Amino acid sequence: MANPSVQTDAVLSASELQLSFGNQAVLDSATLAVYAGEKVGLVGRNGCGKSSFLRIVAGEEAPDGGIVSRKQGLVVGYLPQEFQLDDEATVEANIRAGAAELIAMIERYETEDNLSHSETDRLLAAIEHADGWNIEGRIETLMRELSAPPATRLVGELSGGEKRRVGLCRALLSQPDLLILDEPTNHLDAEAIAWLEGYLAESSSACLFVTHDRYFLDRIATRIVELADGRFFSHDGNYSDYLIAKEERQERDQNAEHKRQRFLSREIEWVRAGVKARGTKQRSRIDNFYAVKAQKAPDKELDMELVIPTPPKLANLVVELKVVGHFYDRDPLFLGLDLEFKAGECVGVVGPNGFGKTTLLRLILGELEPSTGTVRIGKRTEFNYVDQTRLELDEDKSVLEEVSQGLDSVRFGDETISVRAYLQRFLFANDRINDRVGSLSGGEKNRVLLAKILRRGGNFLVLDEPTNDLDLQTLRVLEEALINFGGSALVVSHDRWFLDRVCDRVVVFEGNGRVTVNEGNYSYYLEKRRAREASLAAAAKAKPAKASAPTGPPKDKEKPRKLKWKEERELETMEETIHEAEAKVAELEAKLGDPAFYIENSVEAPALIAELERKKTEVTMLYTRWEELEAIRVAAAEA
């Protein structure tokens, strides 16, 4: 990371920025510099001003006060949350607009014959500095890796997610000196996010970005900057380092406040005694008291108390899919899917866009009939479906009107609470409950949506991309609510951290109609997949090369050996053995993933972590052995 003490390395600096919306100051003398080559992750609650700050430093918005300075000749690539594309132009034309200046230089260099030598040299140097001769290859790579729509499609025909991928391609195309990215991973699948991580990690561009994807923050950020109370707090390192540093910072603040309160308690009696400040020491003591009293106490960070209403009891049959398949225009989206849901578990659904995830949700909800197989829904199963487009909010209504829907209370199991008390759990204080929805920030609107959706109840939550546009604190609270939810939950998400925290199993769309149901969380699935791929690659590499033409008389072809009796028994029971080992891994992960475990059993944690690693290794070895025995069996059958 660039050394912050070397001010000449700063590609961008913002000094003493002021910005207010009504009575709320989102930037209060905020100062921040971004240095060459560093990757700065900007975090903070929704509504704290992150997107506004990005718009200011990108030159899209003016602050109320303060100065923004950019390095001379700085090339900036900007992906805002709400961006404008030319709906009348094609996908490729919109992407090319991201490097319009570079493309114009290339055209001028190649077509104008009357350029001076100095102008020719200047253009050539600028083109080579921007790697302009490879721009066609970059367009092709970006469109492929970020799953952009076909180049000839008109942008006006695209969905919001497709437009966002086009916008990201456009922002990256010119290989700018500074990338400013607002939620770059939204609407990207896991493979595209992994590619983007690698791209940014290897890029020499400085990057200032806002994201709710905590794995992305962990792997890309070289510095985390938190925006809170209108000021920036900078922490070197990635997201995990920031969490530790923030806790230490808050502890220091609380210790300082404790000392301040003790000082005031000691001095208050002396001041109340009305001692006349005749001497210099007395005047100084009184002045010091009032100066300390005037200091602002550190703001207490409030969290949502998001509790999903107690679900009605489920029957033994919740939802069951047997050999389910579905076709789209005669092509199979997936085939042969067996999946049974249980009360109290959360199942994640992952896979590239367009592979059938939303179709699976509609089959489970009973909105579609499967092409093959059966879907059974329990008599007591009550769905609460949150789709990708969410619910529409009436921006002219108040927060209270929008959530209450004319009712005064919300039912929680056998109890009821007032709508006002319910909204306070979503961090809407009494003075904000009557605010018009249209005046809220994007994050606050998302909290209104969550409150409106979750109050509907149900015992089977179906959440399609619930993490989009939620801040990190809200995500953590939503995770805790899902972990403690007594009903069943099905979650479609590309947020790997979220999936790892809440899921007991993951359904993975792997392409070519293949869907797998995997015990454990998403990271464990990835470990198994990598181990399987490595094993297959090693097996392919170990195959003997074809022998050269024989010089002597031909020999009888050596027959492949058959499985021994003991190996046959081993192969027959291998699947069951793997399931048992995976179940043990899932059990250990659930225990170690429960925050309550560390309160009473923290001493046992190291031993359990070591056991978990041994069990994961055992599963990997079992898969390798299974493939080895299966290869011998197949070879013998084909001989």
pLDDT tens string 606-636: 667 767 777 887 887 888 787 778 778 777 7
What confidence score (pLDDT) does residue 47 get? 76
Q: Are residues 390 and 534 in the same domain?
A: no
Task: State both tokens at 106.
Answer: 């290339």
- Residue at 554 is within a domain: no
Among the candidates 178, 212, 243, a domain finishes at 243
| Weakest mean pLDDT among 322-336, 509-523, 582-596 | 582-596
- Residue at 471 is within a domain: yes
| Weakest mean pLDDT among 86-100, 178-192, 195-209 | 178-192
Distance CA 255, CA 558 (A): 79
Q: Are residues 189 and 229 in the same domain?
A: yes
Q: Which residue has the higher pLDDT, 518 or 84?
A: 518
What confidence score (pLDDT) does residue 302 get? 52
- Give 438's pLDDT tier (boundaries 50, 70, 90): confident
Q: Which residue has the higher pLDDT, 221 or 474?
A: 221
Report which residue type is found at 349.
V
Q: Are residues 333 and 267 in the same domain?
A: no
CATH of the domain at 634: 1.10.287.380
CATH of the domain at 350: 3.40.50.300
What confidence score (pLDDT) does residue 322 get? 92
* Average pLDDT, integer, range 351-363: 86
What confidence score (pLDDT) does residue 297 get? 66
Does 390 score more than 80 pLDDT? Answer: no
Does 602 score more than 70 pLDDT? Answer: no
What confidence score (pLDDT) does residue 548 get? 47
**Structural domain that includes position 200:** 7-243
Q: Which residue has the higher pLDDT, 511 or 408?
A: 408
* Average pLDDT, integer, range 527-549: 67
**What is the signed CA dihedral for 395, 396, 399, 403, rounded to 10 degrees?**
-80
Distance CA 215, CA 475 (A): 13
- Residue at 305 is within a domain: no
* Average pLDDT, integer, range 449-454: 80
Tell me if residue 442 falls in helix, strand or coil. Answer: helix
Q: Are residues 339 and 285 in the same domain?
A: no
- Residue at 112 is within a domain: yes
What confidence score (pLDDT) does residue 599 get? 57
With contact defined as beta carbons under 8 Å apart, do 212 and 183 qualify?
yes
Question: What are the tens digits of pLDDT across the range 261-310?
Answer: 777 777 777 666 665 555 566 677 777 777 777 777 666 555 556 667 77
Distance CA 189, CA 181 (A): 17
Q: Are residues 509 and 527 in the same domain?
A: no
Task: Please give the mean pLDDT across all residues of the chain.
Answer: 82
Distance CA 244, CA 240 (A): 7
Q: Are residues 190 and 266 in the same domain?
A: no
Question: What are the tens digits of pLDDT across the range 57-67?
Answer: 999 999 999 99
pTM of the model: 0.65
What confidence score (pLDDT) does residue 1 get? 41
With contact defined as beta carbons under 8 Å apart, do 13 and 68 qualify?
yes
Question: In the chain, what are the helix, strand and coil shares in percent, each to the nearest 5?
Answer: 45, 20, 35
* Average pLDDT, integer, range 520-528: 87
Beta bridge pairs of residue 233: 226
What confidence score (pLDDT) does residue 71 get? 92
Q: Are residues 350 and 410 in the same domain?
A: yes
Q: Are residues 89 and 101 in the same domain?
A: yes
State the alpha helices, DSSP H only, in 58-99.
91-96
- Residue at 360 is within a domain: yes
Give every CB contact of residue 34 below 8 A, 6+ residues apart in sequence.
10, 11, 12, 13, 40, 178, 206, 208
- Residue at 548 is within a domain: no
Q: Are residues 226 and 265 in the same domain?
A: no
Does 321 score more than 90 pLDDT? Answer: yes
Looking at the chain, the whole-number percentage of residues with pLDDT higher than 70 is 86
What confidence score (pLDDT) does residue 289 get? 72
Q: Are residues 85 and 158 in the same domain?
A: yes
Question: What are the tens digits of pLDDT across the range 110-124?
Answer: 888 888 888 999 899
Looking at the chain, the whole-number percentage of residues with pLDDT higher than 90 is 32
Q: Are residues 511 and 374 in the same domain?
A: yes
User: 539 to each of 515, 533, 628, 631, how far by Cα in Å?
Assistant: 24, 10, 8, 10
What confidence score (pLDDT) does residue 7 get? 43
Distance CA 18, CA 432 (A): 23
Report which residue type is found at 591.
K
Q: Are residues 189 and 261 in the same domain?
A: no
- Residue at 55 is within a domain: yes
Does 598 score more than 70 pLDDT? Answer: no
Q: Which residue has the higher pLDDT, 184 or 427?
A: 184
* Average pLDDT, integer, range 377-384: 92
Q: Which residue has the higher pLDDT, 191 or 596?
A: 191
Looking at the 3D structure of the chain, how many domains does it have? 4
Q: What are phi and psi of 231, to 5 degrees?
A: -125, 160
Q: Which residue has the higher pLDDT, 147 or 637?
A: 147
What confidence score (pLDDT) does residue 2 get? 41
Does 6 score more than 70 pLDDT? Answer: no
| Weakest mean pLDDT among 26-30, 343-347, 496-500, 610-614 | 610-614
Does 404 score more than 90 pLDDT? Answer: no
Among the candidates 294, 329, 355, a domain finishes at 294
Helix (H) or strand (E) holding 350: strand 346-350
DSSP letters along 183-210, please?
STTTT--HHHHHHHHHHHHH--SEEEEE
- Residue at 299 is within a domain: no
Does 557 score more than 70 pLDDT? Answer: no
Question: What are the tens digits of pLDDT across the range 258-274?
Answer: 787 777 777 777 666 66
